[in-house]
Amino acid sequence: MASFETPWLCTLFLLCWAFVGQAEYMVYKDHKQPLNHRIEDLMKRMTLAEKIGQMTQIERTNASADVMKNYFIGSVLSGGGSVPAPKASAKDWIKMVNEIQGAALSTRLGIPMIYGIDAVHGHNNVYNATIFPHNIGLGATRDPKLVRRIGVATALEVRATGIPYTFAPCIAVCRDPRWGRCYESYSEDHRVVQAMTEIIPGLQGDIPANSFKGVPYVAGNDKVAACAKHYVGDGGTHDGINENNTIINRHGLLSIHMPAYYHAIIKGVSTVMVSYSSWNGVKMHANRNMVTKFLKETLKFRGFVISDWQGIDRITTPPGANYTYSVQEGVNAGIDMVMVPYDYPTFINDLTSLVNKNVIPMSRIDDAVRRILRVKFTMGLFENPYPNTSFADQLGSREHRDLAREAVRKSLVLLKNGKKSNEPILPIPKKTSNILVTGTHANNLGYQCGGWTIEWQGGSGDITVGTTILDAIKSTVDHTTTVIYSENPDANFVKTNDFSYAIVVVGETPYAETFGDSLNLTIPEPGPTTIQTVCGAIKCVVVIISGRPVVIEPYINSIDALVAAWLPGTEGQGVADVLFGDYGFSGKLPRTWFKSVDQLPMNVGDKHYDPLFPFGFGLSTLPMARLFSGAPVMRNEHYGMMLSLFISLLVMMFIV
């Protein structure tokens, strides 16, 4: 009997083992299976709780192992300035992301979470990262290929910290510089903004030649998912007030604010973030016509739509007045992933209840989850959920800093060069007696980086690793030239020292979003006083550090040379490179420079267009080496005169 039962039991065991092995095969885990098969297989296995968890994005401070597992959280983010530790290293970031990802993978289905961060001008939350010029400066370069290279570098630095997703680029078309987010916009002209969507293939990689329009694409683990924001019309709000109402007809919305989204979608952008603002009184977070009908159905966008930070809360006035209603309106409008950094239990409970009551159809939930899974599968998160630690040395690399320095050089716009047309003062000779460097922004790395740097609102002083404009000047001039720095010198100091030149660096202090809204756009004191004190006594070059045009008309006559440097980031050496003639000025205004705020809003093409400096304006210079090499000077008549005079003097010397 025993001899009969033993083979039978072995056979039964083998059959059970084979059955279990077959049952464990999951199509969604097989990377060889077609994408849609993987999505549908996983969808069939998911409960409502797991689906709603995928739609939920929470702040990293709340992403404990228990929360990730119990709520099946699909995404985690760092808010502005939210870091694992002060001055956290790439390893610190990777350790944190790994812990959160490990918790996500320990759930029943093991769906990886996607971690997102606002890497909007480089990996700007992270200490020692390369901070590139803000978008307004990149718009001044008119160089889409440069912007694409910045996207490649940013992706590597973001991946260096283990993060696969950035909430960038902002493709707003800022129509009023009073808006506190204007520096996040490349230009007032949608054509410039469209051109700068080249950052998307830089971040994500080039889409395959046979790719369908609107399908998200991320090329590999050295690339990141991008996010086009803020959909749509955020740059056109009334009086430039952040989160306000954009009053414009449909033709205006589609012809000014929408074109960059066409390009972003064609280039395979993975996600689109909805704007806090309204269009003709309808909140974009509740606008089903624009989010579902137009973006998803007309434009065929197949990535996922994400809300802004607590964006659905703002559907009501005041925010959060009827949260259940906000969840209903936001999700039904077509928002797929909802950024609920803190009160995620209420969101999950309300959404679950609304689905169970058939207020939100299950088809809407399934659409959202399919889109989220499509991006995750496309990114390769299921195959490679954990960071590649080999990218750690990319953070703040020399190559990336050199690229940022190049971007700074190309972003500088020369608005004035000499009080007389035949007496330019730029470039400044490196070898001279004494140079005075002054102004609140000359020796302040935080100020030259602006908002969205280390902290949400930015900061002052040595907030990260970089080169101030003062240090750049000191390293550029001849060793015999004396550089004296005084932040806000008095008239006696200026007059009693024998300065050959003064470089005055002043501008706006850092801000972000609503905190940057301004009705006067004036340079804060002591900036104006410094300009008047110094420029009244010495040949002066004024360098404006700002996120937009500011009031400069009252001082323009006393200034010898005027440079718009925008918010250049950590590589201040790029400013000195051009001031002293190692490179020429080439930047062009990405937006109109007004005479008075009373003219605003004023954009190129307007009927009563009367700017101080028009859109596209920018004087050009040649590098000092070419200036005295005998090369033809074609781009600036001032230097033509200067070169002719120089040659004439040489001829006279030989005759004598």
Which pLDDT tens digit goes with each residue over 55-80?
999 999 999 999 999 999 999 999 99
End-to-end distance of the chain based on CA atoms, in angstroms?
128
Helices in 320-361 by DSSP H: which ranges?
323-333, 344-356
User: Can you give the pLDDT at residue 653?
Assistant: 39
pLDDT single digits (tens) 165-193: 999 999 999 999 999 999 999 999 999 99
Res 621 pLDDT > 60: yes
pLDDT confidence band for 631 (50 / 70 / 90):
low
Cα 341-97-155 angle, rounded to 5 deg: 95
Choose, from 157, 188, 189, 308, the residue flagged as catalytic.
308
pLDDT at 627: 65
* Model confidence, pTM: 0.93
Query: Is 50 marked active-site?
Result: no
Q: Label residues 144-182 b or e (16+ Cβ within 10 Å = b).
A: bebbbbbbbbbbbbbbbbbbbbbbbbbbbbbbbbbbbbb
CA dist 183 and 514 (Å) reads 13
Confidence (pLDDT) at 421: 80
Contact present, 312 and 285 (Cβ < 8 Å): yes
Looking at residue 575, its pLDDT comes to: 99
Distance CA 542, CA 568 (A): 15
Q: Catalytic: 571?
A: no
Tokens standing for residue 409: 């050089």
Percent of the chain scoring above 90 in pLDDT: 90
Residue 117, both tokens: 């961060």
What is the per-residue pLDDT for 643?
39
Average pLDDT for 5-18:
49
pLDDT-derived band at 652, boundaries 50, 70, 90 = very low
* Predicted local distance difference test score (pLDDT) of residue 655: 34
Whether residue 651 is predicted with pLDDT greater than 80 in this model: the reply is no
User: Rounded to an integer, what distance in angstroms lies between the CA atom of residue 283 and that of residue 312?
Assistant: 9
Report pLDDT for 104.
98
Cα separation, 517 vs 349, in Å, equals 36
Q: Which of 513, 560, 571, 577 is catalytic?
A: 513
**pLDDT greater than 70 at residue 2:** no
Q: How many CB atoms lie within 10 A of CB 208?
A: 11
536 vs 489: CA distance, rounded Å:
13
With a cut of 90, say whether residue 654 has pLDDT above it. no
Q: What is the pLDDT of residues 468-482, one digit of tens each?
A: 999 999 999 999 999
pLDDT tier at 550 (50, 70, 90 boundaries)?
very high
What confidence tier does 210 reach under pLDDT thresholds 50, 70, 90? confident
Cα→Cα distances 506→469, 488, 530, 563, Å: 11, 10, 8, 11
Alpha helices per DSSP H over 161-222: 190-195, 199-204
